[in-house]
Each structure stands twice: as structure tokens, then as C-alpha cells.
Structure 1
Amino acid sequence: MKFKTPTIVAISMAIGIATGASVTAIAAQPNMRSALDHLITADAFLAKATDNKGGHKAKARSLISIAIQEVRAGIRVAN
């Protein structure tokens, strides 16, 4: 299944809202926000990938989850 850009944006926004991202706090840090957006998008693509690729897909998603948490923590500290 191929995603269209609006679908990826919608998924990214839904994940951000669902996990309590503060848009106001993040807006002041465009590079961190961009990194966060890319991580969320990458996770959405991995979620749709077929199979588990010998466990590498699951490991990648786990690492992305940790990276998302760290970026959000960095944003909170900076604000």
C-alpha cells in the first residue's frame, strides 16, 4: 500500500496529539520539531511494511519510539 502525503501528515499529527505533544512548546524549536516529524513519519512507514524482516523492523520501531521520547524530552528541557 502506498501512502499519499496527506495521509502521512494526518498519521503524524494523530500520533503527536495522541501522545500529548505540546505544539506551542515545540513550535519554538523548528529543528527539533522537524526531527520529531520525520521520526513519526518513519514509524508510520515501518508500521505498514510487510513482515518483520528478521526482527529488524520491530527493533527499528523500538529505537524510533525511544528517539521520539528523547526528542520530546529535549524540547521540554529547552522550554
Structure 2
Amino acid sequence: MTFTKSRLAAMFGATLLAGAAMGGVAMAYQGHMFAARNALYAARTQLIASAHNKGGHRVAALRAVDAAIRQVNIGIRVGR
């Protein structure tokens, strides 16, 4: 089977479009990571705004949220 330049160009274009569609699926998943990070930032804001005397649990929760934010950021970078 022989391929003309126009047929090769069409096949190449179709391959690029298929790859772009697959990449779009991966980016849709990143949306969950961004939503999780936004929720963690909201939780952090609420913890900072709360009263300071919580028997050390407020501080522990802030540390845990900060660690979770770092992990989500790493996950976002890896997922790119």
C-alpha cells in the first residue's frame, strides 16, 4: 500500500488529535487535585482563624494540613 503525502499528513494529524484527546483526560483528573488543594487551603484558613487553645490539636491539625498541601503539590507536579 502506498501513501501519498496528503494521506500521511492526514494520518499524522489524526495521531496528534488522538494524543491531545488523551492528554485532555489526564488534565481532567488534575482538576480533582486542584480542588483538593483548594479545600485544604480553606481548612487551613479556618484552623488559623480558630481559638488558639485546643490542647495542641489545632497546631497538630495545621501541621497535618500543611503536609497534605505539600503532598498534593508534589502529586500535581508528578501528574504533569
Q: Normalising by structure 1, what TM-score?
A: 0.63
Q: Deviations over 1:13-55 (max 9, x none)?
A: xxxxxxxxxxxxx887110000000000000000010123000
Flag as ranges the 4+ runs of structure 1 deviating above 2 A.
none
After TM superposition, the structure 1 = structure 2 runs for residues 1-79 of structure 1, keeping only pairs within 5 Å, are: 29-79=30-80
Compare CA radii of gyration and give the structure with the larger one.
2
CA distance in 2, matches of 1:52, 1:76: 36
Task: Give the secondary structure class of the aligned counterpart of 1:50.
Answer: coil
Q: Indicate if the aligned counterparts of 1:52 and 1:58 stay in contact, CA closer than 8 A.
A: no
Q: Structure 2: which amino acid aligns with 1:31?
A: H
Structure 1: gaps of 5 or more residues: 1-25
CA distance in 2, matches of 1:50, 1:36: 23
Aligned residue pair count: 54
Q: Deviations over 1:44-67 (max 9, x none)?
A: 000010123000000000000000
Identity fraction in percent: 37
Structure 2: gaps of 5 or more residues: 1-26
Q: Structure 2: which amino acid aligns with 1:37?
A: N
CA distance in 1, matches of 2:28, 2:49: 28
